[in-house]
Structure 1
Amino acid sequence: MLFGQDIKNQVQAIADQYKAVGVAYVVVKDGKVIMKDALGKSSIENNTPLDVDRHLFRIASISKSFTSTAIMQLVEKGKISLDDDFGDLVGFPIRNPNFPDKKITLRMVLSHTSSINDVNGYFELDVINPAKNPNWQKSYNSYEPGTDYQYCNLNFNMAGAVLERLTNVRFDTYIRQQILNPLGLQAGHCVDSLDQTRFASLYAYDSKEDAFEVQPLAYLPRREEISNYVMGESTPIFSPTGGLKISASDLAQYMMMHMNYGKLGKVKILGKKASKTMQKKVSEKEGYGLALLETNKLIEGQHLVGHTGSAYGLYSSMFFNPKEKYGFVVITNGCVPTSKDGNIALTSEIINLLYNELVK
């Protein structure tokens, strides 16, 4: 077994192989954090070292699970059902034109089995609203809702809007009040609600130039749009589908809550039944539940639950085993994005290293 500095040296070797700008990682074993560290830079321009506790990343699609967790809280309270007609919830018809009589449910939206796609884009809900877009039909695939899987960001931007319609609380505020604050996490969707000196810069790799380009759009404050905010419509501004900013160490705390089926210490975010529903695959094809997915491919022969994220050059991974109470958070703010068994090679190799040396 390797320890602290040896592990860091091995992680550094993997990071070097994929030219990573920076990597933050956290290991949980027996329900406790046993290691957390970071290497590389939070900013190339300022030459600042990356810090596992201090620096916040826009974690991309792992954000979806926060949206789903908030929705499941309302399901538990009996305010909505996973089998509700999603059109009734979002306030305009959600019907695949090829199957006009087939109800598209909240469960289908949260599991990417809704037959909805991102062809029209996902930054505005109007793209799929028949009253607002003459080409709304393009937002649907040709197969019957509930019969197949396609990953779709629009699903979750709409789910965030539903959250606002049901609670009359702005999306970013609701997530903070119901999930982040109770868990003691310094995180959020709204740029101006956070300490912007803590943001880790994100870098997209340009293969032609063999260079990294900083992506300032990742942390755009969008103040003007927020000043004209319309509840239940403007929600994509905060990107329920990918816009949460959080540190690797705080994301590990959130992961432990899901690992313990909705609880972290004495704080209960979800009941066990609702938490298990999130983790149970709806689609056999992809192993996807309600914004958490099941996989046996990341670590050979190990059943893991979690999610990945990729946007603006960032690649994030959060995976855990709820029975054996171990898990990993690995985030890079820029690397050469080589793929390996459907995962980003950098995060996959680091997770396997950490598992073999610290958990196994």
Structure 2
Amino acid sequence: MLKKFWKNATLTTLVLATFTLSGHGQDAKTETDLQSIMQQHDMVGLAVVVVKKGEIVYNKSFGLKDVESQTPLSPNDIFRIASISKSFTATALMQLIEAGKLSLEDDVSKLVGFQVRNPKYPDKVITLRMMLSHTSSINDSQGYFTLDTIDPAKNPNWAACYNNYEPGTQYEYCNLGFNMGGTILEKLTGERFDQSIKHRILDPLGLYGGYNVDSLDASRFVTLYEYHADSSRFSPSPSAYAPRRQEIRNYKMGHSTPIFSPTGGMKMSAPDLARYMTMHMNKGEYKGTRIISKKSAKQMQSKIADNGYGLALKTEKKLIPGKALVGHTGNAYGLYSAMFFQPKEQFGFVVITNGTSAPEVNEYNLALAEVINSLYKNLIK
């Protein structure tokens, strides 16, 4: 276990140096504010990117990439971005819908190859739209690292994977649904999930990242630190980048997909994530490369669930008072991430921390909410 290391003199000096070396004027005011937020919420490291009118206008990293080695965080470093990964899975599925290989109204049972029915509503079809909007009535109570948990032929307690309400009527966040979504992508493309995302989204946009740990430069991985409130300490989370080589060697197409975690396993730098975000902000296109149609982009951003969740993108009205932002958050292994944009006014933010004592409330981290508001106030408003 690591003590609250932001009190360590070496770290404090490093954080202050990182802030004070990088600008004057408005940038200096921004960095002073960010420094204060970091210290208040015990943030290990912080990566921030601001996009305006399709261009990155601010891209800075602060604090530490790794505490043990006292390595500073840099913009090229790679995080496991957690649940923002869901939008990559949904984006690739929208491409298949455009190609006529799939429909949002398709029965998930037919797509995954086993019965997906809430036993309390056996006649109600669970559709892909429901699954991608967390309104399917499926839950994570049996785990989500294998599809066997919800397969009636594999798990005697499969019925526990469903809530009591009718599919399509209520929202409950569900990681299992997106691992199923990744499996559907794999089945329909005949290509392993990590490769499919690379070829369909990352390569066309010129982004460095992916779901397969061994395909990436491990020296760029940011160490993630989980905060333990009971002891006020952090501990590193090396399992965030577990390569799972044995499981990949025994991979079964259309079944083993959760190994790559379509629900949360993307690894990417903050500026590359901002470029991906800009594609969504520009309704499916980035710098001349169209990834999905305007219609698909609008569908992903349109509210389905009562809380504003669409298809792996959510409309958030309370993050910046008076502004409706579209995006997603992530939380895993101590990391917190957020990607939000304003489609009409054409500005957006990517903010990621590899450890903080701040809690998550209403599906976003309070420290990152303060960071986003500071960036908006200083660089957009």
The two structures have a TM-score, normalised by structure 1, of 0.98
Shift of 1:295: 1.2
Moved more, 209-218 or 63-72: 209-218
Shift of 1:2: 5.3
Is 1:318 paired with 2:349?
A: no
CA distance in 1, matches of 2:148, 2:228: 33
Matched position secondary structure for 1:303? strand
Matched position secondary structure for 1:42? strand
CA distance in 2, matches of 1:128, 1:273: 32
- Correspondence for 2:36: 13
Deviations 1:298-337 (A, max 9, x none): 0001011000000000000000011111000000000002
- Correspondence for 2:57: 34
Shift of 1:96: 0.4
Number of residue equivalences: 358
Shift of 1:342: 5.0
- Report the CA distance shift for 1:31/1:40 in structure 2 as closer, same or farther (over 3 A): same
- Correspondence for 1:351: 372
- Correspondence for 1:208: 230
Is 1:110 paired with 2:132?
A: yes
Shift of 1:78: 0.8
- Correspondence for 1:58: 80
CA RMSD across the alignment: 1.1
Is 1:142 paired with 2:157?
A: no
- Correspondence for 2:7: none
Matched position secondary structure for 1:225? helix
Shift of 1:12: 1.1
Alignment of 1:90-169 (within 5 A): 90-169=112-191
- Correspondence for 2:328: 307
The answer to whether the 8 Å contact 1:2/1:357 transfers is no
Moved more, 308-317 or 200-209: 200-209
Shift of 1:29: 1.4
CA distance in 1, matches of 2:143, 2:358: 24
CA distance in 2, matches of 1:348, 1:341: 11
Is 1:75 paired with 2:91?
A: no
For structure 1, list consecutive stretches of 5 or more residues without a partner in the other structure: none
Matched position secondary structure for 1:297? strand
Q: Which amino acid aligns with 1:71?
A: L
CA distance in 2, matches of 1:78, 1:341: 36
The two structures have a TM-score, normalised by structure 2, of 0.93
Matched position secondary structure for 2:57? strand
Shift of 1:211: 1.7
CA distance in 2, matches of 1:88, 1:213: 43
- Report the CA distance shift for 1:251/1:222 in structure 2 as closer, same or farther (over 3 A): same
Matched position secondary structure for 1:347? helix
- Report the CA distance shift for 1:349/1:157 in structure 2 as closer, same or farther (over 3 A): same
Matched position secondary structure for 1:13? helix
CA distance in 1, matches of 2:239, 2:192: 22
Is 1:45 paired with 2:68?
A: yes
Alignment of 1:175-324 (within 5 A): 175-284=197-306, 286-324=307-345
CA distance in 2, matches of 1:85, 1:229: 25
The answer to whether the 8 Å contact 2:213/2:241 transfers is yes
Matched position secondary structure for 1:201? coil
For structure 2, list consecutive stretches of 5 or more residues without a partner in the other structure: 1-23
The answer to whether the 8 Å contact 1:25/1:330 transfers is yes
Matched position secondary structure for 1:121? coil
Q: Which amino acid aligns with 1:358?
A: L
The answer to whether the 8 Å contact 2:130/2:167 transfers is yes
CA distance in 2, matches of 1:29, 1:339: 27
Shift of 1:208: 2.7
Shift of 1:102: 0.5
Shift of 1:338: 2.6
The answer to whether the 8 Å contact 1:204/1:212 transfers is yes
Matched position secondary structure for 1:33? strand
CA distance in 1, matches of 2:362, 2:150: 33
- Correspondence for 1:337: 358
The answer to whether the 8 Å contact 2:338/2:364 transfers is no
Q: Which amino acid aligns with 1:101?
A: D
Q: Which amino acid aligns with 2:350?
A: V
The answer to whether the 8 Å contact 1:161/1:233 transfers is yes
The answer to whether the 8 Å contact 1:27/1:354 transfers is yes
Matched position secondary structure for 2:88? helix
